[in-house]
């Protein structure tokens, strides 16, 4: 076999080098956010741009609050709804992924996802909402960085402060005030469960937070959240 041309080898080395630099750039942000609270996330920036196409004066509703000022009911509700193995897994819920694949195959379309809270946070912090194989690979790498460099408390704290809860509404504090007129620290168990139910489709479900569907799902989360284990 003839050896690869020198130019091809050089190009491959440059490509590998660029990929390494790209991943180190992600890791650098993860290290920075371990100690410093994120400003505007990638997903928030994209949503703000979309809102300003309709209204140039549009602004996001968001207000950072520390972990201890978020109701434990909301922490338990979100874990019960989104990732009930959050405390125990290392970023990926392999059983949940397999169950989601089986559900989607049975229905012939995407009806369930297997993403953990850490995976969702990785995507929201640094990536686009596209569903390409490349984007999923980047999400997996950032998920590993988050689990390696942060503890579970920090992961949940940042997630609850940056996740979307309606059109232009981000984070627990803004959501609690928008839907219930109270700070995140004062959310009741029922209010927290209703917010958690919105997370898979907040812009759609937030338009009808007291629909029959929302009532049924809220009751289910209320019954489950007492068993949720969350960081102290």
Domains and CATH numbers, the chain: 40-84+92-225 (1.10.3810.10)
Distance CA 25, CA 23 (A): 5
Cβ partners under 8 Å of residue 166, min gap 6: 175, 178, 179, 198, 202, 203, 206, 207
94-115 pLDDT, tens digit each: 786 777 566 655 555 444 457 9
Task: Give 87's Cβ-side CA count (13 Å radius).
Answer: 12
pLDDT of residue 131: 77
214-232 pLDDT, tens digit each: 999 999 999 999 999 999 9
190: pLDDT strictly greater than 50: yes
> Are the CB atoms for 166 and 198 separated by under 8 Å?
yes
- Can you give the pTM of this predicted structure? 0.87
Lowest-confidence region among 67-71, 129-133, 184-188: 129-133
Cβ partners under 8 Å of residue 199, min gap 6: 78, 81, 82, 163, 165
Strand partners for 123 = none
pLDDT of residue 134: 79
């Amino acid at each position: 076999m003839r050896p690869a041309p020198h130019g091809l080898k050089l190009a491959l080395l440059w490509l590998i080098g660029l990929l390494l630099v790209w991943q180190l750039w992600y890791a650098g942000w993860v290290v920075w956010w371990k100690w410093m609270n994120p400003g505007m996330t990638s997903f928030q920036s994209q949503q703000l741009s979309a809102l300003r196409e309709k209204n140039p004066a549009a602004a996001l509703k968001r207000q950072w609050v520390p972990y201890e000022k978020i109701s434990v009911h909301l922490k338990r509700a979100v874990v019960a709804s989104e990732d009930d193995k959050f405390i125990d897994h290392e970023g990926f819920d392999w059983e949940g992924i397999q169950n989601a694949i089986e559900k989607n195959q049975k229905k012939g379309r995407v009806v369930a996802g297997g993403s953990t809270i850490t995976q969702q946070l990785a995507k929201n912090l640094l990536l686009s909402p596209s569903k390409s194989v490349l984007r999923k690979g980047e999400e997996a790498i950032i998920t590993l960085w988050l689990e390696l460099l942060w503890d579970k408390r920090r992961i949940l704290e940042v997630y609850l402060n940056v996740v979307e809860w309606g059109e232009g509404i981000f984070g627990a504090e803004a959501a609690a005030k928008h839907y219930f007129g109270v700070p995140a620290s004062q959310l009741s168990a029922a209010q927290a469960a209703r917010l958690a139910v919105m997370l898979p489709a907040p812009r759609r479900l937030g338009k009808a937070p007291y629909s029959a569907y929302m009532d049924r799902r809220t009751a289910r989360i209320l019954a489950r959240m007492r068993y949720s284990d969350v960081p102290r």
